[in-house]
Amino acid sequence: MRTRRTVPLALAGVLFGAVACTSSAPRPATRSTARTSTSGSSTSAPQPVACPLAVRDVLRAASGATVTVHTLERDPQLTDCRYTAAAAGRRACRAARLQINDESQAYVDFRRWVDESGQNRQHPRQVPGPGLGADWVVQQHLFQAGSATRWVTVTLDCPPHTPGTLPLARHIATIAMRA
């Protein structure tokens, strides 16, 4: 007689969560919450990173325009910023989006993105940059860099063939790695 083995519901949720987290999206969808110790008091949670103002200054120098900063999302493990140049020149970048991911497996997610982007014909090109590795997708003006604890994404909004986009993206990523 065969016996049926059942998986406890909690374990099934963990297994499902592990499968659901294998997306190739550049930005993980998980959120962090404050943790409570067994005594009921809150433990110290990591503080979110603010949108680095140095990025505003770099984009202002590159575009020759006033730059505004918008925080799209800010939690302890993910910061999402948009920098917009008010009246950038015809051949200058108009905006930059910066995502700083400090989730526990940020580097693993970064490497997965690199592998899957190559399979999806985005053709990331490995370039020198901050962290343990950096990749540049020229057609999308997309720069990604990963370290052991942080994954940084820089997306530039520039006219096609704008000179200096890779050095600009690399500079922004370097600022974000140090933030």
- pLDDT by residue (tens digit) across 121-139? 667 888 999 988 899 999 8
Based on the number of CB atoms within 10 Å of its own CB, is 76 exposed (0-12), middle (13-18) or buried (19 or more)?
middle
Token pair 């942080």 in the structure block, residue: 150
Flag the least confident range among 7-11, 50-54, 142-146. Answer: 7-11
Give the full edge-to-edge strand order of the sheet including 67-75: 67-75, 78-85, 95-101, 151-157, 142-146, 133-137, 125-126
Give pLDDT, residue 9.
34
Give pLDDT, residue 123.
77
Based on the number of CB atoms within 10 Å of its own CB, is 178 exposed (0-12), middle (13-18) or buried (19 or more)?
exposed
Alpha helices in the chain (DSSP H): 9-20, 53-63, 106-119, 165-178
Q: Is the pLDDT of residue 39 over 60?
A: no
Q: Is the pLDDT of residue 52 over 60?
A: yes
Give pLDDT, residue 44.
61
Q: pLDDT band at residue 111, thresholds of 50, 70 and 90?
A: confident
Indicate the DSSP class of residue 179.
Answer: -
- Amino acid 113 reads W
Give me the residue spans of the domains in the chain.
Answer: 53-91+114-178
Give pLDDT, residue 177.
94
Indicate the DSSP class of residue 42.
Answer: B
Percent of the chain's residues with pLDDT above 90: 44
Asked if residues 95 and 81 have their Cβ atoms less than 8 Å apart, the reply is no
Q: Which of 67 and 161 is assigned the larger pLDDT? A: 67
The full DSSP string for 28-58 is --------B-TTSPBPPPPPPPPPPHHHHHH
